Structure 1
Amino acid sequence: MEPLELRRAVEAGRATVSDLGLQVDDVVVIHNSDRVVLRLVPCDVLVRVAPSGQLADAEFEVEVAHRLAGVDAPVAELDPRVAPRVHVRDAFAISLWTYYEPVGPEVAPADYADVFMRHHAALRRIDLDAPHFTDRVAVAMKAVNDREQSPELSDSDRRFLSETLGDLSAAISADQAGDQLLHGEPHPGNVLNTRRGPLFVDLATCCRGPIEFDLAHAPEEVVKHYAGADHDLTHRCRALNWGLFSAWRWRRDDQMPDRAHWRVEGLNRLRTALDRCGPA
């Protein structure tokens, strides 16, 4: 968020938490992108503040977290001191979460795979209406094929990206018998190493698909420790993820820092990932 919007978001988060009866003396900005993550002290609550246009996503994330808490999933939990809901204030959607102090180094590959398996098992125990991963691909393809949304994408790269997204999506979704609920974007930045063990965060990306779609977001060493994973399918999913990443970067309104670099790098990594894919 830009500085002015960030100040408004911080104040909206502070005021909401104070009105709920929790003491707030200071606010620490932990992450700032299209939405802001704040740590409020001394009440020690983690607050996610997003523009109200993301209200549906915020409400979906809270619902996912609420359902998963009931099956002991390895995920960050909502703050137990307040009702599990999204608050709207000053055009922002605000949700309150438990704050976990990070501990130790990055999660080891074997531990990452173990928390993956436990999370996928928990996701199989809940009933939730979630989109299929192909819905995400359809949105990306629409952005790629619409010159108004991606005006700086060259004709050759537009054709390459559109065809690749379509082909990979069709190949990966050809057999949906093993599809289940997934995290959706369980990359290392969305796994916290805490005193409780590794926990997944950012649950708004929950979708349906093969477990390999999730595994493709993790380092390759992790996949080797996940029993039963289809490595060829994981390679195709990894390529698809780079295709999705590239599609988002070429959108006119994308706000990722160093976007010019990642536009080129994303396409390069997509081509490299495609070279590793086995036959569909």
Structure 2
Amino acid sequence: MEPSELHRAVEAGQATASELGLQAGDVMVVHDSDRVALRLAPCGVLARVAPLGHLADSEFEVEVARRLAEVDAPVAELEPRVEPRVFSRDGFAISFWTYYEPVGSEIAPAVYADVFLRHHAALRRIDLDAPHFTDRVAAALREVNDRERSPELPGPDRELLSDTLSGLSAATSIEKARDQLLHGEPHPGNLLNTRRGPLFVDLATCCRGPVEFDLAHAPEEVGTHYAGADHGLIRRCRALNWAMFSAWRWRRDDQMPDRDHWRVEGLSQVRVALDRCRLD
């Protein structure tokens, strides 16, 4: 967020928490992008604050978390001291979550795969209306094909991303019989190592598709520990994920920190992933 908007978001999160009886005298910004995550102390709560334009996403995330908690999924929980819903204040949508102190170091691939298996099993136990992953691909493709929305994207790179998004989306969505609910973006940054064990966060990306779409967000070694995974499909999904990631970075209004670096890195990773697919 822009500094002025970030300041307003912090004030909105802190004021809402105080009104709900949570002691929030100290605030630390844990993550800052198109929405922010705030650690509130001394109450030990995580507030997720987004512009009201993201209200539907915030409400969807809360509903996903509420349902997954009922089936004991390995996910971060909503803050139990307040009503499980999204609050609106000063142009922001605010939700409150349990704060988990990180512990340990990098999560081993076998452990990561085990958490995936348990999470996917839990997702199969809930009934939720969620978009198909190809809907997200289509949204990324619109950004790439609209020169006004991505004016700085060079012509050859625009063609690369457009061809990758359209071609791999069709190639990875043929067998819909294997589709199920997924996390949607379970990369290492969205899997916390806590005293309760590894827990997935950022549940607003929940969608439908093959489990390989989720596995493609994790380090490559994770897929080797996931029984029954189609490794060729994982590699195709990995190329597709990098193409979507790159498409978002070239949006005119993208606010990801260090965006220029990730624009270059994203395109590089698309090419590496496509080369791996061609070797198949």
The TM-score range, normalised by the shorter chain, is over 0.9
CA drift of 1:156 comes to 2.2
Tell me, which stretches of 5 or more residues in structure 1 are unaligned?
none
Whether 2:164 is the aligned partner of 1:164: answer yes
Does the residue aligned with 1:148 lie in a helix, a strand or coil?
coil
Aligned partner of 1:214 in structure 2 is 214
Aligned partner of 1:113 in structure 2 is 113
CA distance in 2, matches of 1:7, 1:155: 37
CA distance in 1, matches of 2:266, 2:214: 19
Aligned partner of 1:248 in structure 2 is 248
CA distance in 1, matches of 2:240, 2:141: 12
8 Å contact kept, 2:33–2:257: no
What is the correspondence of 1:77-116 to structure 2 with a 5 Å cutoff?
77-116=77-116
Deviates more, 1:130-139 or 1:262-271: 262-271
Does the residue aligned with 1:277 lie in a helix, a strand or coil?
helix
Whether 2:48 is the aligned partner of 1:48: answer yes
Cα shift readout 1:7-48 (whole Å, capped 9, x = no counterpart): 111111111111111222211211111111111111111100
CA distance in 2, matches of 1:122, 1:231: 23
CA drift of 1:278 comes to 5.5
CA distance in 2, matches of 1:183, 1:260: 27
Aligned partner of 2:64 in structure 1 is 64
RMSD, matched Cα: 1.2
Cα shift readout 1:198-246 (whole Å, capped 9, x = no counterpart): 0000000000000000000000111111111100000000000011011
* TM-score (norm: length of structure 1): 0.97
CA distance in 2, matches of 1:28, 1:260: 26
Aligned partner of 1:144 in structure 2 is 144
8 Å contact kept, 2:76–2:98: yes
* TM-score (norm: length of structure 2): 0.97
Query: Aligned residue pairs: how many?
Result: 280
CA distance in 2, matches of 1:34, 1:180: 28
What is the correspondence of 1:173-184 to structure 2 with a 5 Å cutoff?
173-184=173-184
Tell me, which stretches of 5 or more residues in structure 2 are unaligned?
none
CA distance in 2, matches of 1:257, 1:95: 23
8 Å contact kept, 1:232–1:278: no
CA distance in 2, matches of 1:257, 1:25: 27
CA distance in 1, matches of 2:258, 2:45: 31
CA drift of 1:108 comes to 1.0
CA distance in 1, matches of 2:31, 2:247: 23
Identical counterparts, % of pairs: 77
Cα shift readout 1:133-168 (whole Å, capped 9, x = no counterpart): 000000011111111011122222222211111110
CA distance in 1, matches of 2:274, 2:156: 17
Aligned partner of 1:229 in structure 2 is 229
Q: Which runs of 4+ in 1 moved over 4 A?
A: none
